[in-house]
Structure 1
Amino acid sequence: MESKASRMPAAELALSAFLVLVFLWVHSLRRLFECFYVSVFSNAAIHVVQYCFGLVYYVLVGLTVLSQVPMDDKNVYVLGKNLLIQARWFHILGMVMFFWSSAHQYKCHVILSNLRRNKKGVVIHCQHRIPFGDWFEYVSSANYLAELMIYISMAVTFGLHNLTWWLVVTYVFSSQALSAFFNHKFYRSTFVSYPKHRKAFLPFLF
């Protein structure tokens, strides 16, 4: 008969995948809420191909998480019956990092939104302004940095040794860093008084 110790690695992975899927759902629902009730978008529109890519991306990310777990009845049983026993330090740390990063991203989106609203919360324009506060004191695209940290928190939840998820993190880093670079370039070319100490994406580095 298979011992509990031999089943533990698979059980830990099952819990990691479950938590990461929950994180993705929470993240997606929060971003949907922000799109409807927080963000103030400009008149520009994204290309339909980019829109479709975004939809496909989140489906593939979810399938990527599921692909990391051997989905047999035994692992489902272990996940359902011994949830607290399966929990490890990286599950707790990953969860703390996720909600910490999510809170900062939400705050950054509120800061960006308030740049286009008056004190009563009414949208008065769609122009760009220099954001201040929170992580914007260090980087131009603080919301992109928070996005990267959210995905890193999921890598931590996987125990830091899941190569497949680190490839996902690498993609997120590349895409967010590229967007942050162009945002930073725009800010510096548009605003003469833009803070010189502020980096594009990574505090004190880039």
Structure 2
Amino acid sequence: MVPRLEAELLVLNPLRAVWLTLAAAFLLTLLLQLMPPRLLPGCALFQDLIRHGKTKHGGPPRPAICRAFDVPKRYFSHFYIMSVLWNGFLLWNLTQALFLGVPFPDWLHVLLRLLGAAQFRGGELALSAFLVLVFLWLHSVRRLLECFYVSVFSDAVIHIVQYCFGLVYYVLVGLTVLSQVPMDGRHVNVIGKNLVMQARWFHILGMMMFIWSSVHQYKCHVILGNLRKNKAGVVIHCNHRIPFGDWFEYVSSPNYLAELMIYISMAVTFGFHNLTWWLVVTYVFFNQALSAFLSHKFYRSKFVSYPKHRKAFLPFLF
């Protein structure tokens, strides 16, 4: 069983290939941005695709053809609407499978198999995938509510390609979680037939990390939103100001750091050893690091008095 499990861990299935490719692409993009300005790719489309919101102002001049594909940044809420609906649907199917023994729909089972879901994952716990899917859904609900009631969006934009990618991302990440469920045909294989008995110490640790990271991300979004409001909570402008408080004392984009920590908490909930999810975490790391680096450059170029001790993404390091 052990050699078989080790061999399975080394298989590069379609899902792992996708996340590995995305991680490599964003790593390469980040490395390019770290190069001296004179060596940066001058392609306006390339710069337009990696920047969004305020960071588009720090890039090269945008030709009219690029501006033609702009989408309001406030459409970020659509990502979370998609996630709440789609991942809520997946969570409903998984809940029925775990507690009522209802098999997955044929089309969903076929899709999971095409993406690389394996049968009888030795040592995998159905509870881990269930908790991670719950975390993902709760995270999406919170972010959706923040988009409506906390964040104050300006007239900043994103590229239509970024918008489409964001919609597909939350579909793919939900399927990735569901593909980690141990299966017996179309049925979920629950070891011992008792989900509660699968509880392990890393489930508790992962849950605590998820809550801790989510609280800090919420605090950071409140701080950013309040920069554009008066004491009565009324929006008075959409300008950028230097944020202070909480993790902003250490990095320019603590909300991105908290996002990474949320995904790491899910890796912990999977028991540390889930290679597929660590590839997701790797992608999130480079994706958020790139956004944080570009935001850091924007702040430092716009504000002469910007705190010099702040790093872009990782406290004291980067």
CA contact (8 A) 1:102 1:146 kept: yes
Residues 1:45 and 2:161 aligned together? no
Task: Look up the SS of the partner of 1:147 in the other structure.
Answer: helix
Residues 1:130 and 2:242 aligned together? yes
Cα distance in 2 for partners of 1:47, 1:188 equals 24
More displaced 10-residue stretch of structure 1: 9-18 or 167-176: 9-18
Deviating 4+ runs (over 4 angstroms): 9-12
Task: Look up the SS of the partner of 1:46 in the other structure.
Answer: strand
Cα distance in 2 for partners of 1:29, 1:72 equals 31
- 1:187 corresponds, among 285, 289, 299, to 299
- 1:161 corresponds, among 245, 251, 273, to 273
1:139-154 matches, within 5 Å, as: 139-154=251-266
CA contact (8 A) 1:39 1:110 kept: yes
Task: Look up the SS of the partner of 2:146 in the other structure.
Answer: helix
TM-score by length of 1: 0.91
CA contact (8 A) 2:203 2:269 kept: yes
Instruction: Give the aligned residue type for 2:162.
Output: Q
Task: Look up the SS of the partner of 1:69 in the other structure.
Answer: coil
Cα distance in 1 for partners of 2:273, 2:189 equals 24
Cα distance in 2 for partners of 1:155, 1:128 equals 34
Cα distance in 2 for partners of 1:146, 1:121 equals 25
Gaps of 5+ in 1: 1-8
Instruction: State the shift of 1:81 in Å.
Output: 5.2
Q: Deviations over 1:77-124 (max 9, x none)?
A: 737952321100111100000011001000100000000000000001
Which residue of the partner structure matches residue 173 of structure 2? 61
Cα distance in 2 for partners of 1:33, 1:10 equals 38
Q: Deviations over 1:58-87 (max 9, x none)?
A: 110011111112323797473795232110
- 1:24 corresponds, among 136, 152, 157, to 136
The count of aligned residue pairs is 199
* 1:117–1:79 Cα change, 3 Å: farther
Cα distance in 2 for partners of 1:150, 1:97 equals 7
Identity value in percent: 85
CA contact (8 A) 2:207 2:265 kept: yes
* 1:52–1:127 Cα change, 3 Å: same
Cα distance in 2 for partners of 1:159, 1:56 equals 26
Instruction: State the shift of 1:11 in Å.
Output: 7.2
* 1:202–1:90 Cα change, 3 Å: same
Task: Look up the SS of the partner of 1:90 in the other structure.
Answer: helix
* 1:52–1:204 Cα change, 3 Å: same
CA contact (8 A) 1:39 1:113 kept: yes
Task: Look up the SS of the partner of 2:235 in the other structure.
Answer: coil
- 2:214 corresponds, among 83, 102, 114, to 102
Q: Deviations over 1:126-185 (max 9, x none)?
A: 110000000000000000000000000000001111111010001000010001001111
Instruction: State the shift of 1:13 in Å.
Output: 2.1
Cα distance in 1 for partners of 2:192, 2:281 equals 28
Instruction: Give the aligned residue type for 2:125.
Output: L
CA contact (8 A) 1:10 1:75 kept: no
Gaps of 5+ in 2: 1-120
Task: Look up the SS of the partner of 2:276 in the other structure.
Answer: helix
Cα distance in 2 for partners of 1:56, 1:72 equals 28
Which residue of the partner structure matches residue 205 of structure 2? 93
Cα distance in 2 for partners of 1:189, 1:74 equals 55
Instruction: Give the aligned residue type for 2:182.
Output: P
